[in-house]
Chains A and B, each alone.
Chain A
Amino acid sequence: MILQLNDIRKEFKGRSNHSVLAVDDVSMQVEAGEFIVVNGASGSGKSTLLFTMGAMLPPTSGQVVCDGTDLYALSPSRRSKMRNLRIGFVFQTFNLISYLNSLENVAFPALLAGSSKKAAMQRAEDLLNRLGLGERLSHLPVELSVGERQRVAICRGLVNAPDILLADEPTGNMDPELTQETMELFRGINRQGQTIVMVTHNPELSETGNRHVLMEKGSIRAERIVSAEDKAL
């Protein structure tokens, strides 16, 4: 098991002191090699759950356990280190650092993990080449197309060979063709053994992974294993 969520509850306090319950008592386990697609309407709490899972947003109560360690019991510094080494992220808006080129954006987490500059650059270059961006190494994010930016972001998420890759609406800004292309990419990465948890509001993508979780009003409404037959349908 890669990650375990125990009774996660996340409440946001608004300015007028009204609180909003974004995630309500969610428990789940993520096994190695899984490709989980978390689906739900806007405001269902799926992104909040993903951020909490990724040690980015402390829950109001509950635990996120990775390798026997409660992530939120760690100091901010050790939590950052854990994120760096074991968790990869892909965002809807890519979130690339605007003044770093593709190669530097991808290599950066590896450098933070302690790799030498040469090794980090080599690993970044290999990944970018694998995802067809060999010609775009020195391009800044603004010089890349939407699809290319997302691929750079995926490479960055994978550069430290994380235990789990978390993707938040990775195709949210894409047209159907590019969405299909990106999903193919995710499936390919998953086939190579990478554990992925992807959040999407697009119900058509719910069959992409091998487990589908449907969220509603902060809770898991339904959960099912996606069979090969489902995918064929």
Chain B
Amino acid sequence: MTSVFLKMIKARAWELSLTALIIAALIAAMSAQTSLSGYSEKRIHEYAHKIGGNILIIPAETDIRQFFGMRGDQELMPGGFPEKLLESPVGKKIQAIRAELFGQTRINNQPVPLIGTRLIRSGKQNLSIQSDQALIGKMAAEKLQVSAGDFIKISGPGKERTLEVNRILDKAPDGLDTGVFVDLGAARKILGKPDGLGAMRVSGCWCDTDISGLAADIEKNLPGTRALTVKGVISAQKDMIDTVAQYSSLINILGGLFIALIVGLSIYSQTRGQLKNIALLLVVGARPWMIAGLFVCLAALIGLAGAILGWILGVAVTPGISELLLGETIPAAGTNLGWVVFSGVLLSAAAALWPALAASRCHPADIFRKV
């Protein structure tokens, strides 16, 4: 029976390969989707950590992903907003506001994100920045090959400035190890944005405060802004995770059903195309369970090939798809090869059961009369 099985595969190699390829494409798509969903969830976790105990105020149109990734052209809010906030009814609940401006610059002909602010927190230290100085994240310093005391020329859409490197930050705030921190005024000149602000980080003691209510009040007092809190992000995260999980489950169920349909149809077509051989095998003594087993094994093999190929394809295409959809290259993750293979084989074998059993129950003479 094994030789019949192998020769049957050889005789129908093209048809079987095509089915396996279709399954592989579906599995690759499902795998990429899982990776992207997992990555988005992880990102929201990171955002929540970055916000920490602060309230982050940003222009309402700001794309959160681009904001935290320090990419794209940043939306701005009026430069007088910190004062306006302090003067507003919620101002008494606020202890400090750190105003920031972000932008893309070039140093030594290399792209480097610039963060303009007056005070930063590195580890447990608060560091103020002088207008003629720059603090550099560790990775940026390595990339630019500069050390404390060196002078760097920063070019941006505005004026070019030369600043002295005051310190290399072992622990840059908000994980911005690839950035250069300069005084807010200097950043405005370099970036050619004399009045704008990209973000405000508001801190205070809010033990007895309804943070969500405070954020809403801030948004009311500063029209056109969005106030993000950890609670808000966590809540958004929960909603998003629930939505993603819901869609992921639906996509996976539909994908699985489609795979089952493809395999089922393929095996049905195989049994129809080989009716005479099936009848013949039964005549010479093959037991019906052997015939059913032959086609179930064939389906399992298609599922195995499709799953392995699909997993490999998923790993290969996920970075490209993520670049296309999210503008970021992310690796494939979240799909375990063993689980994909197990599911693919099981689903394919199950899908083949009906056509395989139907074929095994045929009466040889009926087939010979018809074929």
Question: Chain A interface (Cβ within 8 Å of chain B)?
Answer: 48, 51-52, 54, 56-58, 76-77, 80-81, 83-85, 89, 91, 95, 97-100, 104, 108-109, 111-113, 156, 160
Determine if B326 is an interface residue (Cβ-Cβ < 8 Å): no
Report the separation of the CA atoms of residues A77 and B25 in the bound assembly, to the nearest whole angstrom. 39
The answer to whether A85 and B276 have CB atoms under 8 Å apart is no
- A228 CB to closest chain B CB, in angstroms? 34
Q: Whole-angstrom distance between the alpha carbons of A8 and B282 in the complex?
A: 22
Task: List, in ascending order, chain B residues with CB within 8 A of A56's CB.
Answer: 282-283, 363-365
Residues of A within 8 A of B7 (CB): 99-100
CA distance A100 to B5 in the complex (A): 11
- Judged by a CB distance under 8 angstroms, whether B92 is at the interface is no
- Name which residue of chain A comes closest to B367, CB basis: A56
Residues on the A chain within 8 Å of B280, using CB: 95, 97
Tell me whether B363 and A109 are in contact (CB under 8 A).
no
The interface residues of chain A, by DSSP majority, are classed as: helix
Which residue of B8, B286, B289, B364 contacts A112 across the interface (Cβ within 8 Å)? B286
When distances are taken between beta carbons in the complex, the residues of chain B under 8 Å from A84 are 284-286
CA distance A77 to B11 in the complex (A): 27
Q: How far is the CB of A98 from chain B (nearest CB, A)?
A: 8
CA distance A57 to B361 in the complex (A): 12
Partner of A57, one of B281, B285, B363: B363
CA distance A91 to B364 in the complex (A): 12
Which one of B3, B10, B283, B365 has the highest number of Cβ atoms from chain A below 10 Å of its Cβ? B283
Knowing A58-B363, A95-B280, say if A100 contacts B4 (CB, 8 Å).
yes
How far is the CB of A192 from the nearest CB of chain B, in Å? 21
A80-B288 CB under 8 A given contacts A89-B283, A99-B7, A100-B7: yes
Residues B1-24 near A (CB distance < 8 A): 1, 3-4, 7-8, 10-11
Nearest-neighbour CB distance to chain B for A190, whole angstroms, equals 21
Taking the nearest CB of chain A, how far is it from the CB of B291, in angstroms? 9
Output the nearest chain B residue to A100 by Cβ-Cβ distance.
B7
Smallest distance from the beta carbon of A11 to chain B beta carbons, Å? 14
Taking a contact as CB atoms under 8 Å apart, the answer to whether A81 and B285 are in contact is: yes
B window 286-316: CB within 8 A of A: 286-290
Whether B365 contacts A77 by the Cβ 8 Å rule is: no
**Residues A112 and B284 in contact in the complex (CB < 8 Å), given A99-B10, A100-B3:** yes
- Name which residue of chain B comes closest to A57, CB basis: B365
- Given A57-B365, A97-B277, A99-B10, A81 contacting B284 (CB threshold 8 A): no
Binary interface encoding of chain B residues 103-145 relative to chain A, with 1 for a CB under 8 A from any of its CBs, else 0:
0000000000000000000000000000000000000000000
Cβ-defined contact, B285 with A80, below 8 A = yes
Q: Is B210 an interface residue (CB 8 A)?
A: no
CB nearest to B9 among chain A residues? A99
Closest 6 CB pairs of A and B: A84-B285, A57-B365, A51-B365, A99-B7, A56-B365, A109-B284
CA distance A161 to B280 in the complex (A): 18
Q: Which residues of B contact A54 (CB under 8 A)?
A: 283
Closest-CB distance, A149 to chain B (whole angstroms): 13
Nearest opposing residue in chain B for A77, CB measure: B287
B366 contacts A by Cβ under 8 Å? yes
Q: Least Cβ distance of B127 to chain A in Å?
A: 78
Known A-B contacts A95-B368, A100-B7, A104-B3; A112 and B363 likewise in contact (beta carbons under 8 Å)? no
Task: List residues of chain A with CB within 8 A of the CB of B368.
Answer: 51, 91, 95
Whether the Cβ atoms of B8 and A99 lie closer than 8 Å is yes
Contact of A113 among B1, B4, B10, B285 (CB under 8 A): B285
